[in-house]
Amino acid sequence: MLRLFLGLTFNSGYTRRLCTLMEGVDGVHWQPQDNLHLTLRFLGDVSLDDAEDLDAQLARITAPAFDLALQGVGWFGIGDRVQNLHALSRPDPILDGLKRQVDRACQHAGFAPEQRKFKPHITLARSRAVRLESAQTWLADHVDFRLNMGDVEAFHMISSHSSGAGRAYRVEASYPLTQMWA
């Protein structure tokens, strides 16, 4: 079994700039720079056979490469408990179209439809016990955050593994996007 998700990864020069946001909230676990990504679809534990079936479906996707821009920050949680601090993607019809194709490929490979609404973001920190009031200053300080993440030229099937420092990610397969500017 593999613990898998589908997502976008970025050049370390861009992720290094995201790391400048990673301070100022006590009690959260800031993500390692190497783990910064944008999840298109979380799959969970997947058999090798199912991963191969999905790989064949994902290889059929044709979508254009695009330039991803981040705009602002946000949080997810339950009540006033923060579970996730993140940088938000600016609305992008190409990203939304890629997400729809990824969801169709997953369904054709036998995975259940996605239940959560897609809110594209890059997780910067995780928490279990931090209250929203502890993150309010950070959220306000970075409300105008903007960062161009560069050209997205592929999406990836990524496995997640336990490590001494949390989770480690490994790209299992990559799916190139079409270059529109040849």
Nearest 5°: CA angle at 176, between 91 and 33? 65
Q: Which of 86, 121, 156, 161 is catalytic?
A: 121
Instruction: Say how far residue 88 (Cα) sits from the centre of its chain.
Output: 10
- Please state, in angstroms and as integers, the Cα–Cα distance from residue 95 to each residue in 14, 91, 154, following that order: 18, 8, 12
- Give the C-alpha separation, 112 to 115, whole Å: 9
Is-catalytic flag, 156? no
Is-catalytic flag, 121? yes
Cβ neighbours, 10 Å, residue 64: 14
Q: Which of 37, 108, 142, 156 is catalytic?
A: 37
Cβ-proximal residues to 14 (8 Å cutoff; 6+ apart), any chain: 147, 148, 149, 150
Instruction: Say how far residue 126 (Cα) sits from the centre of its chain.
Output: 13
Catalytic residues: 37, 121
